Structure 1
Amino acid sequence: MSYTFAIGDIHGCREPLRKLQAMIEARWASGTIVYIGDYIDRGPDSRGVIDLLKAGPAKPGWQWIMLKGNHEDMMVGAYAGRYDRDWWLDNGGLETELSYDGRVPTEVLAWADRLPLMHLDAHRIFVHAGVNPEVPLEKQSPQDLLWLRPQNSAYYWGKHLCHGHTPSRINPRTIGNRTNIDSGCVFGGKLTCAVFDDDVAGGPLEFLKAAW
């Protein structure tokens, strides 16, 4: 058996992330961890989260896949001049810059810019925000993958959709063929991980949660 673990929006909450990673590694010897994006902004230690993720797995047998969230896109766009800088700062970017003593390093911006927008396996679609079921999967726009807020469930090309981006204290929850794992850790909730059996279609087997 092999398993995939999807971790929701972190937003600078390094200690809950460390706890969640330890919980996973205590029960499973190997697997794939998909980080759903939004590693930075609002929380107290964006730099610590990025350093941890960039370092990669500390133990053999693990694969980490880090997707881009809308907050990584805002940060990169603000530095590149594509987005208004104040828009990003007002949405948590100020906390990120403070964690880097005033300026995010070029190598961090390059790392964030290269992050993929989607991860697919045999049975599931992992994205930060959502997908448009009326558009072919291979033609999804970055805008939808980073910003969409799904209201219902859909067929999703025969796969289960796992996403974050829309926080709620009632998350994680599965609605039909879709699971939202953003449980609002930075807003006082918990950091969530959805556990999937790679050989079995459908939603998660269970959820793991870590608090401060």
Structure 2
Amino acid sequence: MSLTFAIGDIHGCIDPMMRMIERVEAYAPAGKIVFLGDYVDRGPDSRSVIERLIAGPSSPDWQWITLKGNHEDMLTGAHDGRHAESWWLENGGIETLASYGGALPPEHLRWMESLPFIHTDQHRIFVHAGVREGRYLEEQTQHDLMWIRFADGVSGEYWGKHLVHGHTPSASNPRIWGNRTNVDGACVFGGRLACAVFDDEVPGGPVEFLTVRP
């Protein structure tokens, strides 16, 4: 059985992330981990989170896919002039800068800038925030994929696939809403770091959730 694990928003919480990776690797001997974005800001150690993600899996039996979240967009935009630096700093950038000692290495900025916005497989769509119905999947904007929000209870058809995302935090997450799973367990706000486990051969929602406390 082939498995995919989708991990929600980390926000600089290195200890829960490391414990979640250990739980995932104990769950199966091999598989794929999709990190759903928002690795930086608000939490205590964004630098260590980015360093660990750049290092990648410790075994060739595992594949990691790291998607871009809106906080990576704010951070890189603050550095290249697309966004106001004050906007990023007011939304957790101060904590990120502190973890880096005041300046981010160029290689970390390049890595964050190059992150993909979406990952799809036979049965599922993985994005940071969501998709906008009424557009073809290939016509989704980067802004929608990183920034859109869903109200509780909302579900759609999503081109016959199950939608997996983070971005909208709640201590009640992870939760399934019809054809949609929200994996943002509000870890940085005192909730949980969450992971949804999917059987790659079976359509629909997760077969199980894994969670760790901050």
Structure 2 counterpart of 1:172, from 171, 174, 177: 174
Residue 146, structure 1, aligned to residue 149, structure 2: no
Output the CA distance in 2 between the equivalents of 1:68 and 1:81.
Answer: 18
Find the counterpart in structure 2 of residue 211 from structure 1: 213
Which of 151, 157, 164 is the aligned partner of 1:155?
Answer: 157
What are the within-5 Å matches in structure 2 for residues 1-212 of structure 1? 1-151=1-151, 152-212=154-214
Code of the residue aligned with 1:4 in structure 2: it is T
What amino acid maps onto 2:17 in structure 1? L
Consecutive unaligned residues in structure 2, runs of 5 or more? none
Measured in 1, the distance between the counterparts of 2:185 and 2:25 equals 21
Distance in 2 (alpha carbons) for counterparts of 1:188 and 1:138: 36
Task: Give RMSD over aligned pairs.
Answer: 0.6
Aligned-pair distance for 1:198? Answer: 0.1
Instruction: Provide Cα deviations, 1:96-142, integer angstroms capped at 9, x if missing partner.
Output: 11111001111111100000000000000000000011110001001
Deviation string, structure 1 residues 50-109 (Cα, Å, up to 9, x no partner): 010000000221000000000000000000011000000000011111111001111111
Q: Distance in 2 between matches of 1:52 and 1:185?
A: 18
* Alpha-carbon distance in structure 1 between the residues aligned to 2:142 and 2:109: 18
Counterpart Cα distance in 2 of 1:206 and 1:82: 39
Count matched residues.
212
Residues in 2 aligned to 1:19 and 1:105: alpha-carbon distance in whole angstroms: 26
Q: Where in structure 1 do 4 or more consecutive aligned residues deviate above 4 Å?
A: none
SS in 2 for 1:43: coil
Summarize deviations over 1:164-204 as a string: whole Å, max 9, x none.
00000111000000000001000001100000000000000
Q: Distance in 2 between matches of 1:101 and 1:208?
A: 33
In structure 1, distance between residues paired with 2:15 and 2:167: 20
- CA distance in structure 2 between the partners assigned to 1:27 and 1:93 by the alignment: 34
TM-score if structure 1 supplies the norm length? 0.99
Tell me, which stretches of 5 or more residues in structure 1 are unaligned?
none
Identity of aligned residues (%): 60
Shift of 1:27: 1.9
Cα distance, 1:150 vs structure 2: 1.7
SS across alignment from 1:116:
coil
